[in-house]
Every structure is written in C-alpha cells, then in structure tokens.
Amino acid sequence: MIANWDKVARDSRVAGSWQVSFKVLSYSMANRVYLDWNATAPLRREAREAMTAAMDLIGNPSSVHAEGRQARRLVEDARVTIAGAVDALPRNVIFTSGGTEANALALAPGLRRTSGFPVQRLVVSAIEHTSVLAGGRFPTEAISTVGVTRSGLLDLERLRVTLDGMPPALVSVMLANNETGAVQPVAEAGEIVHSAGGLLHVDAIQAFGKIPFDISALNADMVTLSAHKIGGPKATGALVLADGLLGLEPLLRGGGQERGHRAGTENVAGIAGFGAAVSAAMGALQRDAIRLEGLRNHLDNGLRQTPDAIVFSEDVTRLPNTTLFTVPGLKAETAVIGFDLAGIAVSSGSACSSGKVQPSHVLEAMGVGPKLAQGAVRLSLGWSTSDADIDRCLEAWRKLSGTLLKGSDETLVERF
C-alpha cells in the first residue's frame, strides 16, 4: 500500500492528481477491507442488473405508448416493493433524488392530518442528520431542538415539555443514528407528538434494511429512505407518507409527476435499482442482522482491549453493524489515515462531514467533550464483511494504537 501512495504523490505532481490517482488506487481495491457501510454500501448485483435492463428502455414513464408504459411499469413495481417493505400504501411513496431531498420535502409548514390543525413549527432532535437540522422550509425562528441522553437517545421528557401547551409541531427524529448506531425511541416519541396534536417525521435512512420496522408501528406520519445505504444506486431516495397526511407542497413544480408531489421525469434506472436493492436487503435482513451483530460484538471486544477505549452508546440498542469508538488522546483524522494505509476504509463520522476537522455534533449533544469527540472513529459493517475482515481491522488497530497512543517516534508510513 505504501508504494501505491508514494506513486500517487509522484505521478500527481507530473501528470495531474485526478486521473493518475484514480488509476493507481483502483488496482489495489480488491485487497482492501471496507468498513464504512454507513457512508454508502456497494452496489448490489441485483440492483446493477435491474438498472442495466432499465437503461435499455427508451420510453418516458409519463408517455402513454407501449414504450412509456414499459418504463412506467418499472417505476410502479419498485414503488410497490418499497411500500411493502415499510407497510405503507404504494400511492404514498414519493421518489426523490436522495435522502437529503426527501428530508427537505418532508420538513414543511402546513402539513396536517385529516382532522388536525396544520403544523406551524419544527422540533428536531440534536443528533439529526444535517439535512434535517437545516430545517427544510421552516423559518429559523420556528425551529426548536430537543437534547439527548448521555447514551445518545432522545430525551422523551424534554420532548414532552417542548410540545406542551404550544401550537402543533412537526417533530423529526431519526430511527437510528448514523454515527453511534443508537436506535431511537421513535414509537414512544410518536405517542407524545400525536397527543400534543403534532406530526412525526422519521429519518429512517440509516436503519432501513438493517432492522425491521413499519410506518404504523413507528407512529410515523412520514418516513425518509435512501437507496445507496442498502446497496442501491446513489442519488435515489423516497419519502413515504402515512395514509391521511395532507398539505404536502412540492419542492419542485412543473410536470406534476409523483402525484404532483415532485416534478421531473422519474429516474427510471435509479428507481428500478432501488426496488431491486430493497428486495434483496429485506430478503436477507434477519440473517444479516444476526451475523453482523456477532461481528460487531467481536469488533467491540477487540477494541476494548486497548486501555481506556470507549465504545459510544454501548449500553443501548444499536444497529447491528455500527461501532463508534475513541481513546483519550486519539486524533480521528490521523487514525483514519492510518487505517487507510493499512488497507482499511473507516470514517471519522458521517460521510457528509468528511474533511471537516471538528467534533461531531452528535457527540457534543451527548455531552462528550471536544478533546474526546475529536478522536471518534466509526466502523460500520455490511453483508460482505467477514470474520477475517474484523481480525485484520483489529490487528491494524493494535499497530496503529501503538504508534498514536504511546508517543512512539515511528511515523504511520514506517508502521504500515
């Protein structure tokens, strides 16, 4: 691996970094261990095949001729599959360009249930994805934040106090945190929200395909999903509505696609790949969850062999594939580089924050100090992760921690 990185540096100075860097790194990928599945999952074979077949179609799904109907059929088949995965009605699945757009579409004033009042303000948990913390179409002054416990779970009592005696609110709570993996008490939150006359939006993007759920059991009025987290294509997502939700105004206006909720010609290939990925993920969900939880526990136990190692949210239910850990004195950006030099892809937090050397807002909300938070490293597993991958990761960590935590004069290059 070191020779490859050296060649990247040399060739980049001569020929330009983008083309040569990709060329050099691409041949070594087969020897690497990928432990950043929460950032994105590899494209599933089923999704690739569905997308390839869809790309051979020439019809616009809004056209009434045979070619158009053929394209429409792919879109509607995927809609049925995705609706079934969360026990919703197909007509309530709105396809978007991804999870961020789905969240922005959902977070809007004026939403209401058939017999309820329109929501006038937004309440979000402090550990939400940045696309939710941005507030969608709510003005800044109409947005409130509810904190979490030190274990990273939504503070239900604070939520109750925030909603009590106030105008109806749209509340947004993620089902599972993308950094810690902590599964949130969403159903209980929904009961509190509905008793206060509000609505509940659930960002289920990180949980979808990893743990079972359905929109009714979550007490959710809206759920957002993303294809690439489960092995579908990037830039494809969905907002799923509970039946009876009214007042959703489109972000994009024009041709009236998606039942008037989202204008623009549907991404037929992406949607077909999304549907295929959902079928594959749901078919293997229980088996994968059991296997991955065993691998994650093995990983956690190995990391704890390092003195003072901390696994965040270890005392609550987590996604079966996610570990966020740190050791006092560790610098996450240096650790990520060290793992990478060892041929292992990990993350220092959510992918949307890559390159930012700043503490995680999730850990800050949990009361973790900035010095400790800046060392947090996330490892997330997926369907192809093996026992050998975990063993290789732990061996790399033993070498890396010996360099970074013991004041060794060795450089990362010398170590790896």
Which positions are catalytic?
A: 352
Answer yes or no: are the C-beta atoms of 265 and 60 closer than 8 Å. yes
Residues 70, 54: Cα–Cα separation, whole Å: 9
* Residue 97, both tokens: 């360009």
Backbone angles phi, psi at 191, to 5 degrees: -65, -45
Q: Are strands 121-125 and 143-146 parallel, antiparallel or unpaired?
A: parallel
What is the 8-class DSSP label of residue 117?
A: P
What is the sign, positive or negative, of the torsion defined by CA atoms of 300, 301, 303, 304?
positive
Answer yes or no: are the C-beta atoms of 239 and 208 closer than 8 Å. no
Report helix, strand or coil for 97: coil
What is the sign, positive or negative, of the torsion defined by CA atoms of 137, 140, 142, 147?
positive
Residue 279 identity (one-letter amino acid): S
What is the sign, positive or negative, of the torsion defined by CA atoms of 41, 45, 46, 48?
positive
Half-sphere exposure (Cβ direction) of 208: Cα atoms closer than 13 Å: 35
| 257 Rama class: left (phi>0) / alpha (psi -120 to 50) / beta | beta
Of 236, 213, 205, 180, residue with least CA distance to 84: 213
- First vs last C-alpha separation in the chain: 8
Backbone angles phi, psi at 71, to 5 degrees: -65, -40
Answer yes or no: are the C-beta atoms of 272 and 135 closer than 8 Å. no
Answer yes or no: are the C-beta atoms of 155 and 148 closer than 8 Å. yes
Residues 152, 216: Cα–Cα separation, whole Å: 24
What is the 8-class DSSP label of residue 33?
A: E
Half-sphere exposure (Cβ direction) of 388: Cα atoms closer than 13 Å: 4
Of 208, 217, 398, residue with least CA distance to 299: 398
Taken as a whole, the chain contains a residue count of: 416
Secondary element (H or E) of residue 169: strand 169-172
